[in-house]
Each structure stands twice: as structure tokens, then as C-alpha cells.
Amino acid sequence: MVRLRTVKRAAGGGAGRHGADVSAGGAAGYGEASVHGAVAPRGGARYEDAFAPEAALTLDGVTRSYRRGGRSVNALDGVSLAVPRGRFLAVMGRSGSGKSTFLQCSAGLDRPTSGTVHIGGTDLAKLSEAGLTRLRRDRIGFIFQALNLVPSLSVAENTALPLLLAGARPDDPSVRERALRVLDSVGLRGRADDAPSELSGGQQQRVAIARALVTNPAVIFGDEPTGALDPATATDVLTLLRDAVDKEGHTVVMVTHDPVAASWTDEAIFIEDGRIVGRLDHPDPDTVARTMARLGER
Ligand SMILES: Nc1ncnc2c1ncn2[C@@H]1O[C@H](COP(=O)(O)OP(=O)(O)OP(=O)(O)O)[C@@H](O)[C@H]1O
Ligand SMILES: [Mg+2]
């Protein structure tokens, strides 16, 4: 059973569905009721339900320290939260606040200095390097701003890459079939045999999403997946991620600086100095922008 130390129930059940906890006026907006490491489940479920082992992602007291100038600096500082399955979560905060560190520790790309991370029921600290590599390959999808598509492989082969790395044979018809199915879901089935260089930036980003979906992962992590896209293409990409959550039940954790991108999610958390300092349910662009501005003033 995963137990979280810093969970607090918002006063008066006030972790409302409309972001009242962070957006409440004045300093009270960052008061005791709003500053917690919990992500409340949707649909009126109780907080406690979110901390069951079947949560897609659970962090408990996660700290990541680096040595800088002879002393230890916490890039992440005691972060606890649980992300239920089927949730689309935005991770926001100023440059250097710890968002990428949060993502890397959550996704098993980096090991926390202390605290635990679970993907589903798996404690990442208990895995060997080889086990961690397998988990990343089989149960996690990544969408980075730098796309990392392999130029010499076709769109379909790039999409199927995680399956091939897991040992599937390239000539196995079910591999191509699966790749075509996810390419269909991102509107690119017709481009399966093209090279990535023949696609626009937004289309390449959609291939990266197809590749992240191809293993049917427990959690999809994105580090600013819409950061380099024009608004229309960003909307396409966000629509795809939203559909992955709503239609396929995927769980998506997305770092973004963009209040409009955050408004596509179910919930935004705000990180400052390695800590979760606020959260918004059903974030709207104005409230997110105001919250970001207030983080800048702190
Ligand atoms: N390998 C490292 N060694 C030392 N310090 C690091 C290392 N990686 C990150 N940091 C520090 O940890 C803090 C958080 O960095 P992180 O990359 O998580 O920020 P971020 O919120 O993703 O910022 P950005 O929005 O600019 O991408 C920063 O102060 C950074 O300098
Ligand atoms: Mg970053």
C-alpha cells in the first residue's frame, strides 16, 4: 500500500472542480488549503481513492539533489502526488523550477535521491538498470520537444520502434498493423512509408505521439510537446492527447509553459523551487496565466 505523507484534504472539500483553491484571491490562494501534493480524483471520488496502488503514477516524498558549488541543491524537494489512470495532467512552473526533473524521476530516466516512485504497482527503486530500461520501453511513452525520429526509418518503422526494441521482428505483420493503427489515430496512415524528413514539423510531432502510443503504455510523458508548434498544429496535437485520455483511457503527464495547452488538461500542478505549490482542476487559460504571474512574484 502506498502511503503519502503530505496529503491534505482541501478545506471544505474546496479542491473544487473549477480551480478555486489556487485562483482564490490574495495570499489565501496559496494558503494551507491549496498547497498540497495531492491530485484530487475527478467525478466526486474521495481523495483517498487516488492513492490506491492502481494509480497510474505515484510519487511519495521524492527529492532529487544535485551538488553545486560544494553544496547540495534540491531540484525536487519532497514531491508527493498520485495521478489516477485516465487523467491528463499539466505540469507548470517557471524555468528552473524542477519540471523536467519531476518528469525524469517519474519516468525512470533519473533516480531520486530519496522518496519513491511507482508506475502502477511497480516501485522503480526496486528495479535494476535492466528492469528500468524494460519498464521505460514497455510501459512508458515519451514525447519530447526534440522528436528523436530516426531519419533513415520510415514513418511506420519509427512508430513501431518501441515494439522492435522490445524484440518484435520487423517482418511480423502484427507489428506493422499496430503501427498503422496508431498512425491512423493521428491522421497519418497515408504517410506510413514516407521518411520523417518529408513531413512537416507538426506531422513529425504526430509521429512522435503515435510512437508513444504504440506500446499502449501505462503513462505517457511529454516535455513541452507543443512548445515548437504553431497554434493550429498545437491544437491538433492536444486534441490527440485529449482523445488518448478520453477514448483510450491513457494517462498523460505533460510539462508545458502554455496556459492554453494547460487548459486542455484535467488538472494543472504548479512547481516552484522543486515543490508543488498549487493546483487547478479543469484549468482555464486566464486562471493559469494569473497563477503563473503570481508564481513569478513570489
Ligand atoms: N544535472 C544537473 N546538475 C545540476 N543541477 C541540475 C541538473 N539538472 C537540473 N539541475 C538544476 O535543477 C533545477 C531544476 O531544473 P529542471 O531542468 O528540472 O527545470 P525546468 O523546470 O524543467 O526548467 P525549464 O522550464 O527551463 O526547462 C535547476 O536549478 C537546474 O539548474
Ligand atoms: Mg525543462
User: Pocket of ligand 1, candidates 63, 79, 92, 99: which has the most ligand atoms within 8 Å of its Cβ, to mutate?
Assistant: 99
Q: Considering only CA atoms, which of 273, 271, 274 is closest in space to residue 292?
A: 271
Ligand closest in space to the Cα of 91: 1
**Average pLDDT value for residue range 214-218:** 89
**Any ligand 1 atom below 6 A from CB of 78:** no
Give the tens place of pLDDT for each residue, 120-135. 999 999 999 999 999 9
Q: Considering only CA atoms, which of 17, 36, 34 is closest in space to residue 25?
A: 34
Edge-first strand listing for the sheet containing 275-281: 140-144, 219-223, 252-255, 88-92, 267-272, 275-281
Query: What is the predicted pLDDT for the residue at 44?
Result: 35
* Cβ atoms 184, 192 nearer than 8 A: no
* Grid cell at residue 23: 485562483
Least confident of 32-41, 50-59, 186-195: 32-41
Query: What is the predicted pLDDT for the residue at 228?
Result: 75
Is the pLDDT at 9 greater than 50, yes or no? no
Residue with cell 498540497: 36
Backbone angles phi, psi at 32, to 5 degrees: -55, -40
Amino acid at 298: R
CB atoms within 10 A of CB 78: 18
- Which secondary structure element, helix H or strand E, spans residue 240, and what is its range? helix 231-246
Query: What is the predicted pLDDT for the residue at 164?
Result: 87
- How far does residue 14's CA lie from ligand 2's centre (Å)? 31
Which residue has its alpha carbon closest to ligand 1 atom 3? 66
Q: What is the mean pLDDT of the chain?
A: 81
- Burial class from Cβ neighbours inside 10 Å (0-12, 13-18, 19+) for residue 174 reads exposed
Task: Using the atom order of ligand 1, give the atom closest to the CA of residue 255.
Answer: 22
CA distance 245 to 220: 10
| DSSP class of 16 | -
Query: If pLDDT is split at 50, 70 and 90, which confidence band does 53 have?
Result: low
